[in-house]
């Protein structure tokens, strides 16, 4: 009996000690520089957002927050760095919805995307846009659907890489419209826009911010945006729902993640900090100027979005010409 009581007391003391240690850790966090890993190159939307957060975190917490760009196929290099890092809040990641695309396309990743990352908060919502050559006869999404149905499997479109948000938005649209077109992966939006403008592609799907100047100069036609509402950067461009496929909407997103075993107290502190920063007027203005919308959320909302989209992307990608690897 005495041994049982002693064990119970020891277990209770251990639990209390662990809780106190976690609370103390949250209270003193951060106690050294923080690294935000970005799976894309400098100048990308994820990089831009990470730098907005890093600047304000540094000012608020008095610890240096640096952005570390680690571009690679499927974001795997960045993912490995984060999932293998010590879960103490000093290694974070800001990435796009492409994280769900990688999980859908690559079943043999060195980590489990749904389990090995801790969701912190969404950061922003981004809009993608369908663009076409000026003389292609594609002025609306209704035009695109009609031409694609007359020429099944013949139209080509460009996107920013296999598994990217632009790739998924395109195939999601194809599925909803019951059409078949041929995807051509590029390394980024500038190349997609260049080949769309010259007519090498029948159309392209790109982040709206990347296309604004070419739309305004008339080098490409802005056909429609993928989101449920028009984008403030190009308010005259209709949504896909308005332009030919009622009810369709896809919103690209960006989020902050951490190593999977990060204590809840630290997740809460990071979530609150992201929300604080995204509500600052100067940060909101800069993000809006990039045709994105700041959108802080709780961790549960981001995790549900991630897991749901992984499953949706698996279904969408299954029947197309980019097989799972």
Please spell the DSSP secondary structure of 149-172, one letter per residue.
HHSTTT-EEEESSTTSHHHHHHHH
pLDDT at site 44: 86
pLDDT at site 107: 85
* Rounded-to-integer distance, Cα 165 and Cα 227, Å: 12
Length, in residues, of the chain: 325
pLDDT at site 2: 52
pLDDT at site 12: 52
Helix ranges (H only) for 29-89 are 45-61, 76-84
Six token digits for residue 217: 């100069």
* Regions of the chain where pLDDT drops below 50: 5-7, 9-11, 13-24, 321-325
Residue 21's alpha-carbon distances to 11, 89, 269, in angstroms, are 15, 15, 16
- Contact call for residues 150 and 179 (beta carbons, < 8 A): no
pLDDT at site 323: 40
Closest CA to 280 of 45, 52, 36: 52
* Rounded-to-integer distance, Cα 12 and Cα 17, Å: 9
**Model confidence pLDDT, tens digit, residues 177-186:** 999 999 999 8
* Rounded-to-integer distance, Cα 46 and Cα 8, Å: 49
Cα 266 to the center of its chain, rounded Å: 22
Pick the CATH number of 33-124+253-318 from 1.10.3720.10, 3.40.190.150, 3.30.1330.60, 3.50.50.60: 3.40.190.150
Pick the CATH number of 128-243 from 3.40.190.10, 3.40.50.300, 3.30.200.20, 3.40.50.620: 3.40.190.10
Can 33-124+253-318 and 128-243 be said to share one CATH topology? yes
Provide the residue ranges of all domains of the chain, joining segments of one domain with +: 33-124+253-318, 128-243
Half-sphere exposure of 82 (CA within 13 A, CB side): 35
pTM of the entire predicted model: 0.84
């Amino acid at each position: 009996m005495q041994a049982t009581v002693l064990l119970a007391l020891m277990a209770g003391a251990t639990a209390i000690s662990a809780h106190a240690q976690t609370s103390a850790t949250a209270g003193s966090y951060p106690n050294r520089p923080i690294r935000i890993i970005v799976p894309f190159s400098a100048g990308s939307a994820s990089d831009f957002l990470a730098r907005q957060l890093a600047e304000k975190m540094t000012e608020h917490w008095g610890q240096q927050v640096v952005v570390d760009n680690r571009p690679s196929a499927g974001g795997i290099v960045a993912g490995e760095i984060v999932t293998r890092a010590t879960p103490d809040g000093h290694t974070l990641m800001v990435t796009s919805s492409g994280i769900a695309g990688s999980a859908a396309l690559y079943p043999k990743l060195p980590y489990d995307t749904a389990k090995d990352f801790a969701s912190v908060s969404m950061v922003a919502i981004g809009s993608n846009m369908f663009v076409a050559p000026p003389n292609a006869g594609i002025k609306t999404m209704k035009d695109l659907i009609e031409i694609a149905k007359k020429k099944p499997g013949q139209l080509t479109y460009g996107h920013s890489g296999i598994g990217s948000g632009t790739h998924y938005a395109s195939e999601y649209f194809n599925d909803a419209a019951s059409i078949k077109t041929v995807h051509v992966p590029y390394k980024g939006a500038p190349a997609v826009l260049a080949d769309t403008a010259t007519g090498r592609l029948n159309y392209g799907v790109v982040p709206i911010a990347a296309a604004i100047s070419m739309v305004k100069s008339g080098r490409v036609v802005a056909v429609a945006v993928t989101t449920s509402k028009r984008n403030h950067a190009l308010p005259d461009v209709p949504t896909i729902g308005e332009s030919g496929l009622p009810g369709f909407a896809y919103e690209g997103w960006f989020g902050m993640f951490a190593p999977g075993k990060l204590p809840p107290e630290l997740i809460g502190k990071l979530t609150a900090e992201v929300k604080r920063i995204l509500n600052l007027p100067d940060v909101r203005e800069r993000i809006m100027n990039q045709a994105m919308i700041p959108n802080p959320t709780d961790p549960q909302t981001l995790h549900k979005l991630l897991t749901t989209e992984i499953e949706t992307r698996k279904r969408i990608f299954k029947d197309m010409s980019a097989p799972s690897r």
